[in-house]
Amino acid sequence: MQTITELSINQLRLDEHIEQLAQIGKIGDTGVCRLALTPEDIEGINQVRFWMEKAGLVTRMDAFGNLIGRLEGTDSAKPILMVGSHIDSQPYGGRYDGAIGVLGALEAVQCLVEQGIQPRMAIEVIAFCDEEGSRFNKGLFGSRGITNQLEEGELERQDKNGVKRREALASFGCSPSEFAAAVYPPGSIGSYLELHIEQGPVLEAMDAQVGLVTGISGPLWLTVTMKGMAGHAGSVPMVMRHDALVGSAKVIAAFDDMVREDPGAPTVGTVGSLRVFPDSRNIIPEEVSFTVDLRDMEMERRNGLEARLMTLLDEVSSQYGLTYTVTEDTNSEPRYCAESMMSIIRSSAEEMGIVMPELMSGPFHDALALSYVCDYGMIFVRSKDGISHHPSEYSSSEDIALGTEVLYRTIRKMCTGNPPKEAG
């Protein structure tokens, strides 16, 4: 791939920011555990806030726990351009997921400031709260918050230690009584841009450093709880058992088989968390809860698989004398990027001698929530071996810098109407 030899952005500064942020919540040599609304998360937020203010942005933390850095525009009546991602991580995550979207956005806007460019509209660089959803089992909290998409009961969700989201927010100094004031009025966000690692193998297989996202697949998150009867593992005959774990295992294995039936489809399904009660070696499991993550670009196919899962739960519960409940945690249809935004990203890359491959995103991002209130565009950076949500997650400095340069040029075009001068 041919690229420009010099960048407008400061690659060294961006590298240093990524490295410094990765030390907060560090696990092992390369991993990160920076769960939403934890001490590690606020330490990361404070560090990013320091960099934002050093870059000349005016910062604030809103009631949802989002960190926002604002650069004023010349026309206060224009809807804002929002750019960002998140810095919270998975429990056993990597240093690039989300973080490069926040730090890349900051670098791009800082580059504008250093060049003395004032945008026509205000630009807000944002680090959204709890994109991952790994702590309270429902993500995109901050981005859904500002777009008025929160659901009943979200503040009462508990983590594995019994801490409620309401309590975790309070530890950040955030109050639900201020939620309404933190919601952006309709039409106030004009566009949203997000830089992110691909988290998949497509770009690497194409030997492409960066890619243009065309849309985000629709995620369905469920929590299934199967109930049976506990008993002594040594005294209850097999034919008399109501083993919730065996029933759950049958459902999980069959669900995996269903999702694999069409190898050419982009469908993916995962059971990533399972809890057993009483969780003892010599007691028959009485209750098991497990999560279901089902994603597809075609709603008809996804809905069909969901219906088959419900039938499967009926059949297995009847066979083993169990009862079950299903809670829907997240449900979204696929959301497509605005053609106008994709066009600007394409032209920015073409000025650099790059033709960006175009691909869908299987993982969801904060852009998914923003898509309901404004146009959005996304840029992907190549992921080594397609690995993410793991300490070995890796994207090279060169690839991240290239993606950030495309982001910078896109922002500059959108906020001034003029392309940047060629580097060198």
pLDDT digits (tens, 9 = 90+) for 299-331: 999 999 999 999 999 999 999 999 999 999 889
Average pLDDT over residues 320-345: 94
User: Residues spanned by CATH 3.40.630.10 within the chain?
Assistant: 11-217+334-416
Total residue count of the chain as it appears in this document: 424
Q: Cα angle vertex 205, ends 203, 206, to 5°?
A: 65
**Is the model more confident about 1 or about 76?**
76
What is the dihedral sign for C-alpha 57, 61, 67, 73? negative
Contact present, 346 and 356 (Cβ < 8 Å)? yes
* Confidence label for 3 from pLDDT (cuts 50, 70 and 90): low
Alpha helices by DSSP H, 286-391: 299-320, 339-351, 366-370
Give the SS3 label for residue 170.
helix
| Cα–Cα nearest to 25, from 282, 320, 391 | 391
- Asked if the model's pLDDT at residue 1 lies above 60, the reply is no
Question: For residue 213, what pLDDT is reported?
Answer: 96
Question: For residue 190, what pLDDT is reported?
Answer: 98
Average pLDDT over residues 55-84: 97
Question: For residue 362, what pLDDT is reported?
Answer: 83
- Asked if the model's pLDDT at residue 382 lies above 50, the reply is yes
- Asked if the model's pLDDT at residue 104 lies above 90, the reply is yes
User: Residues spanned by CATH 3.30.70.360 within the chain?
Assistant: 219-331
Bind-site residues: 86, 97, 132, 196, 389
What is the dihedral sign for C-alpha 48, 376, 388, 104? negative
* Cβ-based neighbours of 162, under 8 Å, separated by 6 or more: none
* Cβ-based neighbours of 412, under 8 Å, separated by 6 or more: 112, 117, 418, 419, 420
Residue 49 CA: distances (Å) to CA of 46, 127, 181, 258, 361: 5, 9, 21, 46, 29
* Cβ-based neighbours of 34, under 8 Å, separated by 6 or more: 24, 25, 40, 41, 44, 87, 88, 89, 93
Q: What is the pLDDT of residues 250-275, one digit of tens each?
A: 999 999 999 999 998 889 999 999 99
* Cβ-based neighbours of 22, under 8 Å, separated by 6 or more: 30, 32, 95, 99
Question: For residue 420, what pLDDT is reported?
Answer: 54
| CATH number belonging to the domain at 219-331, selected among 3.30.70.360, 3.30.420.40, 3.40.50.410, 3.90.110.10 | 3.30.70.360
Backbone phi and psi for residue 254, each to the nearest 5 degrees, phi listed first: -70, -35
- Token code pair at residue 100: 């490069």
Residue that the structure tokens 């010349």 belong to: 74
Residue that the structure tokens 């030390």 belong to: 23
| Cα–Cα nearest to 379, from 357, 396, 398 | 357
Residue that the structure tokens 């007691």 belong to: 283
Contact present, 354 and 210 (Cβ < 8 Å)? yes
- Asked if the model's pLDDT at residue 2 lies above 90, the reply is no
Contact present, 68 and 62 (Cβ < 8 Å)? yes
* Confidence label for 419 from pLDDT (cuts 50, 70 and 90): low
- Asked if the model's pLDDT at residue 110 lies above 80, the reply is yes
- Asked if the model's pLDDT at residue 397 lies above 80, the reply is yes
What CATH homologous superfamily does 11-217+334-416 map to? Zn peptidases (3.40.630.10)
Bind-site residues for Zn(2+): 86, 97, 132, 196, 389
